[in-house]
Amino acid sequence: MNPRLLNSLKKHPELWDIFTGKKDGHTTYSRYDDPNPESLMVPHISKHLINQGYKVSYPHGKTFALCLTHDVDDIYPPLTHKALAFFYSLGSLDFRQMKSHLFWEIKGTKFSPYMNFQQIMDLERKYDAKSTFYFMATDRDPVRLRYNIEDIKGELKEIVKQGWDVGLHGGYYSYDDIGAIKREKQRLERALGREVLGYRNHYLRFKVPDTWVHLEKCGFKYDTTYGYTNVVGFRNGMCHPFKPFNPNTGKQMEIFEIPLHIMDGALFDLTGGFNHAWQITKKLIDLAADCRGVLTVLWHNSAFNCPFRVKWRRMYEKILEYGREKNAWMTSSYEIWRWWQTNGY
């Protein structure tokens, strides 16, 4: 964002406070005051910037973008998922599904139902879309040991080879620990065999502005953590990537924030069912399209092979269908960052 646009925000304290997240507190990533605030459903700041002349164009004649992302929390179903998969498969008399969820270990770890990156890429390819997979490389977690990133070196390389993006899904405790972020980045880079530029913290844990400062120092170019765990919408009124303002230095940072708008779990926790969830999702896509903006969605990889979350997978496919219909550029966080960087937006 150029200095003129930034100054135009500074002149309006009410907009400035939304943009900088001042009202939010420093470590908020869940909203408890108002579980479904209407104001989150309006990209106030992006609209203001557009009125001030902010204009973005996209490649191949596309008119807005959907930034598609997947947090890979698990590559092996945890016990709770196994139990739920058993009951759901039993309920629907789907014994093939039950077998694939309960007995895959006999054939080997590569047959885990959550080792599904190729399946997700194949689905996206059908819609001419790409995405980012955020992988964990920590050994500290309050719930369980997730996985060893070294177990899937081949899969990581394959994802990048096919043109998709791999980023770091920082550990639960890492958002405020620069040493941990650095170690995890190096570990993932060793497994992947190349530099990692993108970040999202597990559970969307974040400290404003400290996490951005840590990430910048560790060499990250873009982050996609800035959203809420329990509601959907425009956390700081932005449906465009932006360089965050650091109140401690009085300057814009170099790192790009590609704000997160819809997380699968938050969407379905908030809504009564598929139709209601779709109404909200469609509204957010339409709003981003009207602003020629970028709407970021997070669908966990497990959602694509989860007998008890079939609706989640269906919703993702509906997003892809609608995105194609509306002429969206459906792509990874890396491509969005590169486009912004190249065009100086």
How would you class 295 by CB atoms within 10 Å of its CB: exposed for 0-12, middle for 13-18, buried for 19 or more? buried
Q: Which of the residues 53 through 72 are near Zn ion (CB under 5 A)? A: 71
- Toward Zn ion, which CB reaches closer, 101 or 202? 202
By CB under 5 A, residue 264 contacts Zn ion: no
Task: Look at strands 294-298 and 262-263 and give their pairing.
Answer: parallel
Which residues does 38 contact at the CB level (< 8 Å), separation at least 6?
none
Nearer to Zn ion, 81 or 240 (CB): 81
Q: Which stretch binds Zn ion (CB under 5 A): 41-49, 179-187, 196-204, 275-283?
A: 196-204
Q: Residue 73 CB, nearest distance to Zn ion (Å)?
A: 4
Q: Nearer to Zn ion by C-beta: 47 or 202?
A: 202
Cis peptide before 3 (omega within 30 of 0): no
Q: How far is the CB of 146 from Zn ion (least distance, A)?
A: 9
Any contact of residue 73 with Zn ion (CB under 5 A)?
yes
Give the phi and the psi of residue 339 in degrees, each rounded to 5. -65, -45
Q: Give me the least distance between CB of 299 and Zn ion, in Å please.
A: 12
Report the run of H or E that residue 273 belongs to, with start and end.
none
Q: Does 205 bind Zn ion (CB under 5 A)?
A: no
Sign of CA dihedral 186, 190, 192, 195: positive
Q: Output 73 or 184, the one with its CB closest to Zn ion.
A: 73
| Cβ distance to Zn ion smaller for residue 71 or 264 | 71
CB of 255 to Zn ion, least distance (A): 20
Residue (134 or 242) nearer to Zn ion, CB: 134
Judged by beta carbon, residue 43 or residue 167, the one nearer Zn ion is 167
Q: Report the sign of the C-alpha dihedral through residues 108, 192, 205, 269, in that order.
A: negative
CB-nearest residue to Zn ion: 202
For Zn ion, give the closer residue by CB, 171 or 241: 171
Amino acid identity of residue 1, one-letter, is M
Residue 71 CB, nearest approach to Zn ion (Å): 4
The only residue of 185, 202, 235, 309 in contact with Zn ion, by rule CB under 5 A: 202
How many residues contact Zn ion, by CB under 5 A?
A: 3
Q: Which of residues 287-326 bind Zn ion (CB under 5 A)?
A: none
One DSSP character per residue, 161-216 reads: HTT-EEEEEE-TTGGG-HHHHHHHHHHHHHHHTS---EEEEGGG---TTHHHHHHH
Strand ranges, E, within the chain: 64-72, 132-135, 165-170, 198-201, 222-223, 245-246, 251-252, 256-257, 262-263, 294-298, 328-331
Minimum distance from CB of 228 to Zn ion (Å)? 14
Angle at 71 between CA 39 and CA 196, to 5 degrees: 110
The CB-of-69 to Zn ion minimum distance in angstroms stands at: 11
d(CA 136, CA 255): 21
Angstrom distance (rounded) from CA 307 to CA 98: 9
CB of 225 to Zn ion, least distance (A): 10
Residues found near Zn ion in the complex (CB under 5 A): 71, 73, 202
